Amino acid sequence: MDTIPVLYRSSEILAKASSLKEEVIMWRRDFHQNPELGFEEVRTSERVAKHLEGLGLEVRRGIGRTGVVGLLRGRQPGPTIGLRADMDALPIQDQKESAYRSTVPGKMHACGHDAHTSILMGAAQFLSQQARPEKGNIAFVFQPAEEGLGGASEMIKDGLLSAYNIEAMAGLHVFPGLPTGQISAVRGVSCAAADRIRINIIGRGGHAAHPHQAIDSVAVTAEVLSALQHIASRQVNPLDPVVITIGQIQGGSASNVIAPEVELLGTVRTLNPALREQMPGKIEAVVKGVTMALGASYEFDYHFGYPSIVNDDQMVDRLLVTSDQVLGHGKYQMVTPSMGGEDFSYYTEHVPGVFFRLGVGNPEKQTQYPLHHPMFDIDEDALPVGIAMLSALALNYLGQ
């Protein structure tokens, strides 16, 4: 790892990134006040595109529907690295009392994508104006629809990787559980595959006073919910993490009516690809057994969603050296994989990549709330850190 050259030191690149802080904060707060959901990022993407055009980059709109790519060419031909930020917000009501709270009812940047977008805009400005690569290119990838809609896959289908001959990818995610000024990373599999399930428990409706004349789908559902947790605790190696969570249940119309059907919607998270392939069969076997025993029937759908992110070892090495040189020693943590899902994984299926966390946690600034919380916010002191890390990592990859 020590043989990887990094030419930018903390006294240079972090200071230069910090000079952009006020401008980047302005962008971030504008995006925060005007959140847009997946594949609806029309205003956001247009502001990004105009910024990139103002920097003199080669800009392409509409890749992956509402995505934007800006290409910074080096002075000489060479490899291309992609830096990615996601742009979409969430259907959550912003409950913060701040000057820049969301102005759109029921929509909020509760996962920090406003920060990711602003950081990458800052990196594009710094690199194009102050640190243009001598050899090779940097593609600034502004991706739509990370939150469950697979915007990364759409960009790849539209030729992102092939059109720009991208040979490596890097990205970050703000994380309130990590102090501002630090980063964290994982070698290899860094987050879970995220799949969706739908189970429909079909009983027979009736009067609540006469349950023996009906098949109570609610009671059957309760048994199914309990039995599903035996998969993780008794059917899977304890060293092989798996999460089965039912997050939504719909059924019933009145307190004195036995519901004929109950629909369950949930998520399945795994780190092991082989175990992932087994999960549809394991879950359906449990549902089938319980419903058969209790006289009910079922419908079952399993949707394979985002695969796991797999961080490339050499890219992680570059990240850690970059952190030491740009942020100073002891500013990174090596952590265990997360059971969260992220569609950056689609990029790492095709090219070497690294995805890392950027600390934004600061209790004094009330930024300790978790991702997807209606009070979520970030410590904006972290924005220059993100700019510096992405910029230096790209230059490092290109041998600058």
Q: What is the pLDDT of residue 62?
A: 98
Q: What is the CATH number of the domain that holds 219?
A: 3.30.70.360
What token pair was written down for 166?
A: 């991208």
Domain co-membership, 352 together with 385: yes
- Strand order across the beta sheet in which 76-86 lies: 58-63, 67-73, 135-143, 76-86, 166-179, 353-361, 183-185, 332-334
Reported as type and span, the H/E element at residue 224 is helix 217-230
Q: Which two tokens stand for residue 360?
A: 């934004």
Expressed as residue numbers, the domain containing 121 is 10-191+308-397
Residue 3 has pLDDT above 70, yes or no: no
Domain final residue, candidates 290, 306, 322: 306
365 part of a folded domain:
yes
Which tens digits make up the pLDDT trace of 261-276? 999 999 999 999 999 9
Let me know if residue 4 belongs to a domain: no
User: In the prediction, which pLDDT does 230 show?
Assistant: 97
Query: How many Å from the N-terminal Cα to the C-terminal Cα in the chain?
Result: 16
Q: How many CB atoms lie within 10 A of CB 297?
A: 17
- pTM of the entire predicted model: 0.93
Mean pLDDT of 317-324: 96
Q: From CA 111, how far away is CA 89, in angstroms rounded? A: 7
Mean pLDDT of 56-76: 98
* Residue 372 annotated in ligand binding: yes
Distance CA 96, CA 17 (A): 28
Give the mean pLDDT of 174-184: 98
In the chain, the number of structural domains is 2
User: Residue 32 and residue 103: Cα distance in Å, rounded?
Assistant: 9
Q: What is the DSSP letter of 338?
A: B
Using DSSP's 3-state secondary structure scheme, residue 336 falls into coil
Does 209 have pLDDT greater than 70? yes
Same structural domain, 174 and 223? no
155 within domain boundaries: yes
Token pair, residue 146, equals 């990370």
pLDDT of residue 5: 45
pLDDT in tens, 222-244: 999 999 999 999 999 999 999 99
- Tell whether 283 is covered by a domain: yes
Give yes or no: residues 35 and 49 share one domain: yes
Count CA atoms within 13 Å of residue 322 on its CB side: 30
The rounded distance, in Å, linking the Cα atoms of 72 and 52 is 10
Same domain, 333 and 297: no
Catalytic residue among 40, 86, 146, 342: 146
Give a yes or no: residue 57 inside a domain. yes
Judge whether 46 is annotated as a binding position.
no
Instruction: Please state, as a whole number, how many other Cβ atoms lie within 10 Å of the Cβ of residue 149.
Output: 16
Q: Do residues 320 and 332 lie in contact, with contact meaning Cβ atoms separated by under 8 Å?
A: yes
Q: Do residue 218 and residue 142 come from a single domain?
A: no
Is 2 within the bounds of a domain? no
Q: Are strands 183-185 and 353-361 parallel, antiparallel or unpaired?
A: antiparallel
312 catalytic? Reply is no
Name the residue with tokens 């795994």.
270
Does the pLDDT value for residue 72 go beyond 80?
A: yes
Q: For 376, how many CA atoms within 13 A lie in the half-sphere containing its CB?
A: 25
Average pLDDT over the chain, rounded to an integer: 96
Q: Tell me, what's the pLDDT at 162? A: 97
The residue type at 93: Q
Residues 80 and 145 occupy one common structural domain: yes
The residue behind tokens 């070892």 is 313
Q: Is 261 annotated as a binding residue?
A: no
Q: Give residue-wise pLDDT tens across range 255-314.
A: 999 999 999 999 999 999 999 999 999 999 999 999 999 999 999 999 999 999 999 999
Taking each helix axis from N to C terminus, what angle separates 383-397 and 21-33, rounded to the nearest 10 degrees?
110
Q: Report the alpha-carbon distance of residue 361 to residue 376 in Å, rounded.
A: 10
Within this chain, do residues 185 and 328 fall inside the same structural domain, yes or no? yes
Catalytic residue among 36, 40, 86, 88, which?
88
CATH, residue 316: 3.40.630.10
Would the pLDDT of 6 be above 90?
Answer: no
Region 76-97: what's the mean pLDDT?
98
Residue-level pLDDT at 400: 72
Helices (H), 34-109: 42-54
Specify whether 38 is located in the same domain as 50: yes
Tokens of 168: 């490596």
- The verdict on residue 127 lying in a domain is yes
Last residue of a domain, one of 306, 333, 349: 306
Matching residue, tokens 């969570």: 245
DSSP helix/strand/coil, 248: strand
Residues 57, 171 share a domain: yes
Residue bearing tokens 């569609």: 343
Please check the confidence at residue 2 and state whether its pLDDT lies above 50: no
Confidence class for position 4, pLDDT limits 50, 70, 90:
very low
| Residue 277 is among the residues annotated as catalytic for this protein | no
Domain boundary among 251, 272, 306: 306
Q: How confident is the model at residue 9 (pLDDT cuts 50, 70, 90)?
A: low
Indicate whether 176 belongs to any domain.
yes
The amino acid occupying position 168 is A
216 or 8, higher pLDDT: 216
Measured at the CA of 149, the angle between CA 143 and CA 150, to 5 degrees, comes to 55
The reply to whether 69 and 178 lie within a common domain is yes
Please compute Rg for the chain using Cα positions: 24
Query: Exposed (0-12), middle (13-18) or buried (19+): which is 292, by Cβ within 10 Å?
Result: exposed
Please give the Cα distance from 69 to 329 (Å, whole number): 33
- 334 plus 347 within the same structural domain: yes
| Whether residues 41 and 60 fall in one domain | yes
Q: What share of the chain in percent tops pLDDT 90?
A: 96
Name the 3-class secondary structure at 259. Answer: coil
To the question of whether residue 147 is assigned a binding role by annotation, the answer is: yes
